[in-house]
Amino acid sequence: MLPPELIHTVESNPHLFKIVTLIKVNAFRDLLKHHPNKRLVSSACRGLQEGFWPWATYPLSDYPLTNDEAQELFHDPVHQDILREKVQGEVRAGRYSESFGPLLLPGMYNMPVWIVHRNEKPRLICDQSAGNFSPNSMIPKHERTLFLDTIQSYGRAIRRAKHAQPDRAVILVKSDVARGYRNMPVHPYFQALQIVKCDDHRYVDRCAEIGGAGSGRIFVTFMALVLWIALYVKHILDLFSYVDDIFSYDYEGNLIYYEPYHKLMPTKQVRLLMLWDELGIPHEEKKQLWGRKLVVIGFEIDTDAMTITMPKDSKDKFVQHIHTFLGSTKIGKRRSLREFQQMAGYCNWALNVAPLLRPGLASLYAKMRGKTNFHALVRLNESVIRDLTWFARHFQSSSGIFILDAIAWNLEEADMVMYSDASLTGLGFWSPTATAAFHHKFQESIPQSLIYFYEALSVCCALRWASTLVRTPHRLVIYTDNQNTVDMFNSFKAEPLYNPLLQFA
């Protein structure tokens, strides 16, 4: 039950609390009429009409009715002017209410705002995690999970396109939704928890905020439904999504005229933009890109060279960030849970060009497991320091280049085939390709509980031997009769006991 004071504030000020979105809900609902998950479609449409509730549990017993965390953070006159300009722009767009004066009304929460420069463009960020009673702290961690497409998946699609028509040049296409999260309205009762202060004026923010813990899931769910329409209704294939970026491929010269921009554009991209126009999804011409070489979520993809590259300055900055996070690497040093989560996110992004380094994150995630307080300090233990140092060292020495042809090939294309196995008395491996076999007998039988470890170790031994050959195989197949071992090496995830084997491999 929401506080009666909050309900009264919202109900008695309808001019402040409104639902604002450009999305054409009726068209959206109609195109989803054959979607198999009716409850999801109904929930999304209701959210667009009544405002989304971002999974917040409110009120909580020890939280204040009204909370003012607004701070005077802008000592630079330039930043102050940027803030005023941004706020007035949001007011004109209807995403902010008009000012309602200098004081909060009962039930309102006001968090601090920041100006962050991204690609040399200032962005207004509301820190919804500030203080001990923040709106983000009301949202359970498991409700914030996002599932985003990866560059690896995109790379496989590009490779399929190249092989399907080897005589045609493949181009990359990327389309961007203008204002992303801000197209999603939040419920009026939650709008009261999103007050913004500028000078001596307060404003109600009516839309999902970039700093909101539930904003990403709301927007990504909406975009997933849009992509379902694109695939199953409009038959636009191989579209990938990373928050507000949609990327795919087409063939060079396959262009059609797009009337709103008065120019020829890739056919697949035009068809996607026409769907967005039908749904009222905003976009800007300068953000709709294509070419043989394109930057996608920070990586340069080249369809001629078939490579994904992290720019050197980004690579150096990432490695330095790890060292800064670890500090002096003194065991017992503490970082906030929020810093742990940011470190994990940064590392996951880097895995796009170094997927084999995933085992270096196991202890980081183990340390965060079960923790929910953003501001709580978490101890850097020996395993976290060791694994992140290993991650940074190997990433620094890598080329920062991922070869797309390395991620998808048939068994018939293997340079070498090997078989590995282990028992309670020994382990070994055999390569019919090289007509060579090796085995080791244990001095004493191992306990049954460790057989999984030795099955994985036999795979590592086979890998190690193959890597020492004069003609090192680039495409190696190793067969094992242990499903747990297959799962571990396919996912690059394992329990702490087995993680050193993945790092060795």
Q: How many CB atoms neighbour CB 451 within 10 A? A: 16
Residue 61: predicted pLDDT: 83
Q: The CATH number of 151-179+219-308 is which of 3.30.70, 1.10.20, 3.30.420, 3.30.450? A: 3.30.70
Residue 214: predicted pLDDT: 95
DSSP string covering 204-227: EB-B--TT-TTHHHHHHHHHHHHH
- What is the number of residues in the chain? 505
Closest to 128 measured CA to CA, from 75, 177, 90, 181: 181
**Cβ proximity of 348 and 492 under 8 Å:** no
Domain spanning 4-144+182-212 has what CATH number? 3.10.10.10
Closest to 281 measured CA to CA, from 420, 182, 397: 182
* Residue 408: alpha-carbon gap to chain centroid: 23
Tell me how far apart the alpha carbons of residues 372 and 356 are, in angstroms, rounded to a whole number.
29
For the chain, 505 residues long, the average pLDDT of each consecutive 10-residue run is: 94 98 98 98 98 92 92 73 92 97 96 79 84 92 86 89 93 96 98 94 96 95 98 97 95 97 98 98 97 92 90 90 82 84 91 88 90 84 91 88 70 91 94 93 89 93 93 91 90 82 85
Are domains 4-144+182-212 and 409-504 of this chain identical in fold?
Answer: no
Tell me how far apart the alpha carbons of residues 340 and 320 are, in angstroms, rounded to a whole number.
15
Helices and strands: H and E segment counts in the chain: 15, 22
Cα Rg for the chain, rounded, in angstroms? 26
**CATH architecture of the domain with residue range 409-504:** 2-Layer Sandwich (3.30)
Q: Give the domain 310-405 fold.
A: Alpha-Beta Plaits (3.30.70)
The domain spans of the chain are: 4-144+182-212, 151-179+219-308, 310-405, 409-504
Residue 499: predicted pLDDT: 85
Tell me how far apart the alpha carbons of residues 232 and 239 are, in angstroms, rounded to a whole number.
12
DSSP string covering 291-306: ESEEEETTEEEETTTT
For residue range 23-44, list pLDDT tens digits in order: 999 999 999 999 999 999 999 9
For residue range 338-384, list pLDDT tens digits in order: 899 899 999 999 998 888 899 999 999 989 988 877 778 899 998 89
